[in-house]
Amino acid sequence: MKIDFNKLFILFITGLLLSSSLYAQRGGETQYASPLDPSKKPTPIYFGPAVGVNIMGHSMDIPTFVEDNTCPNFKNAAGIGLYAGLTLERLFGDVATSSSSVIFRILFNMYPGSVTVEDVPYPHYLPTDDGHVEGNVDNVMDITYNAATLEVMYKINPVPAIGLGIVVGPAIDYILTKNRTHKYNIISPNNAQFDTERFPAGTVFENNYRTAVWYDGEIEDASAIRFGIKAGVQYEILLGSKLYIAPAVAYNFGVTSLTSKYTWRVSPLQIGIDARFAF
């Protein structure tokens, strides 16, 4: 299918102009909230829900085999999580012409992750001949990391009468769940099993002794607080004088380490939408 880029460009410019016209009318229908009180201005406070997706980045440097420092470390974990909560915006200046505000959010954030070191040499037990053989395993760590979050964002609309906004500010997480599961999966040979004597007490074996879950619990020395700096852009789409939606994308850089034992920062790319109502 042939794409007419000239038509797409015209539609894009038309959309911006329509959005600008609507944005300039914010508060226009309620410029005077009561004909009996013409000095009364529309409210500068907007409130509503916020939802979105966290595209996770766990930057870490964690040993895969603590007893063997020649093995590669876990370096980066990825995952997809969700966030949801409430947002409140306080506009500065006159509602109809305001170009800056402060935005507060209270959110529940899911920051999951998973990382695999593949084809690690590891000795296996062969039950068919009661012997041992060299084989390979995948070394896997799965992360469950959830938080209650407070964000305080300063927003500015750099171009008057256009809904494009730039936001920046701190994000403070109180960590609700901070667990990890560390397991080995035999890749080859196909008839091998793990030698249970090589693993610490409490290791759980699954899949006919071809999976060894040797740690499943809270992350060691994990902090209860995460501090991040968040920056991004949003685009405000007015749906009347008292309601607008704001699709947004932002990067939430983890300043603090998840644990004091290792270098481990959690930094999601966050894509979502807010709906805000004047009241």
pLDDT digits (tens, 9 = 90+) for 203-214: 999 999 999 998
Predicted local confidence at residue 31, as pLDDT? 44
Over residues 76-100, mean pLDDT: 90
Banded pLDDT at 126 (limits 50, 70, 90): confident
pLDDT of residue 102 exceeding 90, the answer is yes
Question: Tens of pLDDT along 147-158?
Answer: 999 999 999 998
Cα–Cα distance between 7 and 166 in angstroms, integer? 29
Joined together, the tokens standing for residue 40 give: 């009364």
Over residues 122-145, mean pLDDT: 85
Contacts of 5 (CB under 8 A, 6+ apart): none
- Higher confidence at residue 70 or residue 237? 237
Which residues share a beta bridge with 233? 166, 249
Cα–Cα distance between 273 and 279 in angstroms, integer? 19
Predicted local confidence at residue 240, as pLDDT? 78
pLDDT of residue 159 exceeding 50, the answer is yes
Banded pLDDT at 69 (limits 50, 70, 90): low
Question: Tens of pLDDT along 13-45?
Answer: 445 444 444 444 454 444 444 444 444 566 789
Cα–Cα distance between 220 and 194 in angstroms, integer? 25
Distance between first and last Cα of the chain: 47
Cα–Cα distance between 140 and 206 in angstroms, integer? 14
Whole-model pTM? 0.81
